[in-house]
């Protein structure tokens, strides 16, 4: 009853860690941000909350929560190294439904009515930066 380890040639082709995939596919900017999102419950893999070490295979469904919106992706292929952006976008297909015209109009109005700062007012203070981040959902 010995367990045999799979060598690199025998490993599942296209399977890769979730946090690595989110980084390589340019869905999230860095692997550490991807890890934080997974640990924070912002990423679901096939309908269940996913930890960063989970393996992603072609055909899996990812749901990622971004500030203000939840996006859905279907994995087409896996890669464990960074690729040019055009090739990275070919690793997945986005299946998020389009926003309704009412939702688009509400977002536009929200941007128009958001408080603005004078151009010559100088650098934001720490408190102002934190408030702006909370307002944007970060």
- In percent, how much of the chain has pLDDT > 70? 88
Helix (H, G, I), strand (E, B) or coil at 45: strand
Architecture of domain 1-96: Roll (3.10)
Residue bearing tokens 């990275």: 88
Q: What is the pTM of this model?
A: 0.70
Is residue 19 classed as helix, strand or coil in its secondary structure? helix
Which tokens go with 88?
């990275």
- Residue 83 DSSP class: -
Locate the domains of the chain by residue range: 1-96, 98-138
| Distance in Å from the first CA to the final CA of the chain | 50
- Report the mean per-residue pLDDT for the chain: 85
Classify the C-alpha dihedral 47-49-55-61 as positive or negative.
positive
| Distances in whole angstroms, Cα of residue 23 to Cα of each of 20, 96, 106, 116 | 5, 19, 31, 33
Kindly state the helix (H) or strand (E) to which residue 68 belongs, with its residue range. none
pLDDT tier at 1 (50, 70, 90 boundaries)?
very low
Select the more confidently predicted residue: 5 or 77: 77
86: exposed, middle or buried (C-beta count within 10 Å: 0-12, 13-18, 19+)? Answer: exposed
């Amino acid at each position: 009853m010995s367990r045999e380890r799979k060598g690199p040639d025998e490993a599942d082709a296209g399977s890769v860690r979730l946090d690595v995939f989110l980084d390589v596919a340019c869905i999230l900017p860095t692997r550490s941000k991807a890890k934080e999102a997974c640990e924070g419950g912002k990423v679901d893999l096939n309908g269940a909350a996913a930890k960063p070490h989970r393996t992603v295979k072609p055909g899996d469904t990812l749901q990622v929560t971004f500030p203000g919106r939840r996006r859905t992706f279907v994995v087409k292929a896996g890669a464990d190294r960074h690729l040019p952006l055009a090739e990275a976008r070919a690793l997945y297909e986005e299946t998020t439904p389009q926003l309704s015209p009412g939702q688009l109009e509400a977002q536009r109005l929200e941007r128009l009515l958001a408080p603005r700062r004078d151009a010559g007012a100088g650098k934001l203070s720490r408190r102002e930066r934190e408030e702006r981040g909370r307002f944007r959902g970060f």
